Amino acid sequence: MPAFKSKTYLLLPGIVGMLLSAQIVHAADCTPKHKFSTIEPGTLTVAVTTYAPHSYLDDTGNMKGIDGDIAAEFAKRECLNVKAVAVDPAAAIQYVLSGQADITTGDWYRTAERAKAMNLSAPLYTDQMAIYSKQDFKKVSDLEGKKVGTVQGYLWVADLKTLLGASLKLYPNSVNMQQDLFAGRIEVAVDGYSTGVVAAQKGVLKEVKVAVAAADPRVKATKEAAQAAFPFSLKAKDFGEALDSNIEAMHKDGTIVKILKSYGLDGTAAETGAPRLVQ
């Protein structure tokens, strides 16, 4: 979740800050791969926001989503139980900073500003820019000469403003933009790829197709998309080393690609490149 991008969250009333589950994710004879401490010994405490497909709790209260599955796999490999706490996105970072959670889930961007206050894990995946159109456009050049909409605060907005000028319309959220796309008030939309996958799975995009934008030097976000990470405490050095080691292993053995594909994504978001911070 970027520090400067508005996303539409589905919040569950009455459960903010409530402990919803304590998942047992390891065998009794499990041997941890690393030695480190967590807030509660033997348990990974996770502040879980609700932002599908990245982070949410299922009907039984278990942590799910792309971030949730990666966190659960980390816990499994390190012989930890999982304690999931449902939190409002606005409170999630504070849960980590105040020592109430080891990590938080929810597509948190690796930003320079965020890195001043807390540690950020190795990159999990990238938040890819996607083009939404009835024509199945895939290139930035396809946007030229069209009425285009996008959501305020994304990394690509400034570059698209320079490229498209008055032809670009900004929206406060994805829902309003999609409504204008369906109504024909804009011809093409630009939004996050994962957002489009969820919308398509729910059947709300109708005949609109979603495609990851091909790399174009005029729009930096198509070449270097923002990287998502797990935020954790600046004090948790050993924990961070274990977390990063496991994330690296999950990239190498294909676990993260498998998780991405299980939520309908094509898996290319796992190709994060070297760690970097959004300035």
Kindly report, residue by residue over 128-173, the tens digit of the pLDDT: 999 999 999 999 999 999 999 999 888 899 999 999 999 999 999 8
For residue 29, the model assigns a pLDDT of: 80
Note if the bond before 53 is cis, omega within 30 degrees. yes
Whole-angstrom distance, CA of residue 205 vs CA of residue 14: 30
279 or 268: whose pLDDT is higher?
Answer: 268
Tell me yes or no: is domain 18-126+227-270 CATH 2.40.30.10.
Answer: no
Q: Do domains 18-126+227-270 and 129-222 have the same CATH topology?
A: yes
For residue 154, the model assigns a pLDDT of: 87
Kindly report, residue by residue over 72-107, the tens digit of the pLDDT: 999 999 999 999 999 998 899 999 999 999 999 999
For residue 10, the model assigns a pLDDT of: 37
40 pLDDT band, cuts 50/70/90, is very high
Structural domain boundaries of the chain?
A: 18-126+227-270, 129-222
Kindly report, residue by residue over 3-38, the tens digit of the pLDDT: 444 343 333 333 444 545 556 655 568 999 999 999
- Of 24-38, 39-53, 66-80, 247-261, minimum mean pLDDT range: 24-38
Q: Crossing angle, helix 255-262 and helix 65-77, to 10 degrees?
A: 150
For residue 14, the model assigns a pLDDT of: 37
For residue 198, the model assigns a pLDDT of: 86
For residue 174, the model assigns a pLDDT of: 86
For residue 15, the model assigns a pLDDT of: 40
Q: What is the rounded average pLDDT of the residues 108-127? A: 96
For residue 201, the model assigns a pLDDT of: 87
For residue 3, the model assigns a pLDDT of: 45
CATH number of 129-222: 3.40.190.10
DSSP string, the chain: --TT--------TT-TTEEEEEE--S-TT---SS----SBTTEEEEEE--BTTTBEE-TTS-EEHHHHHHHHHHHHHTT-EEEEEE--HHHHHHHHHTTS-SEEES-EE-BHHHHTTSEEPSP-EEE-EEEEETT---SGGGGTTS-EEEETT-TTHHHHHHHHGGGEEEESSHHHHHHHHHHTSSSEEEEEHHHHHHHHHTTTTTT-EEEEPPPBTTBGGGTSPEEEE-EE-TT-HHHHHHHHHHHHHHHHTTHHHHHHHHTT--SGGG---S---B-
